Structure 1
Amino acid sequence: MTLFEKIIAREIPADIIYEDDFCVSFRDINPKAPVHVLIVPKKVIPRVGDAVADDQATLGALLLAAGKIATQLGVNSTDKGFRLAINHGKDAGETVPHMHVHLLAGRELGWPPG
């Protein structure tokens, strides 16, 4: 069972800020920006490259949730803004084998990332 599955099952505490039928979102314990939340699907998909056609609804729900969460946190605007990131594999910084979306905001984010 992954760390995220334990958070979803409420076996490990987290600062949960959003939940729906498809996902749970909570604040990252090691934030890289003033706003840094993780949007985690309840269905375990190890990494985005492992997703299959049956995962379309879940993947779409993650992006829709990101917009709702950004609005809830006051960063869904053209004068503020936010970034979404998905890490796939060790070289990309993946640390938990349960696909998730990082929502980062609250400061100007440089480009390119990394």
Structure 2
Amino acid sequence: MAAGEPQADCLFCKIVAGDVPATIVHETKDVVAFQDINPQAPTHILVVPRAHYANAGELGTEAPELAGALLAEAAAVAVGEGCSDSGYRIVFNTGAGAGQTVFHVHAHVLGGRGLNWPPG
């Protein structure tokens, strides 16, 4: 299947389509943002493009303008969640070895507490 096309077996494609429920906090024509079901911080929102790309590298290569929109909307989510002034982190896990469990690119927006570095 071509990059950008919905995948029938993809959890995030199903959320984008409205076939699987999620707590949506922000959406545009390009992205959907929803609460993570296993939050790692007081604010933990996933921002996903509506189009399916497996990971951040594929998104950046195949659709750089969409990658920019995803980052801009992640920043908008941080503002909406009230953590932009205190600081927040945007994380992309790419590949199973880095902790990616759903292979539809997604940015984790984390905030609402101190975020020490390195993350571990």
> Aligned to 2:111, which of 95, 102, 105?
105
Q: Which 4+ runs in 1 deviate beyond 4 A?
A: none
Question: How far apart in 2 are the matches of 1:61 and 1:75?
Answer: 19
Q: Return the offset for 1:53.
A: 4.2
Deviations 1:34-76, CA, capped at 9 Å, x for gaps: 1000000011110112235440111000111011111111111
Gap runs ≥5 in structure 2: 1-7
Task: Report if aligned partners of 2:56, 2:92 keep a CA contact under 8 Å in 1.
Answer: yes
> Aligned to 2:11, which of 3, 24, 45?
3
What is the total number of aligned residue pairs between the two structures?
Answer: 112
1:15-94 alignment to 2 at 5 Å? 15-51=23-59, 53-77=61-85, 80-94=86-100
Gap runs ≥5 in structure 1: none
- Tell me the SS of whatever aligns to 1:71: helix
The aligned counterpart of 1:95 is 101
- Tell me the SS of whatever aligns to 1:51: helix
| CA-based RMSD | 1.1
Q: TM-score, normalised by structure 1?
A: 0.94
Amino acid at match of 1:76: S
Q: TM-score, normalised by structure 2?
A: 0.89
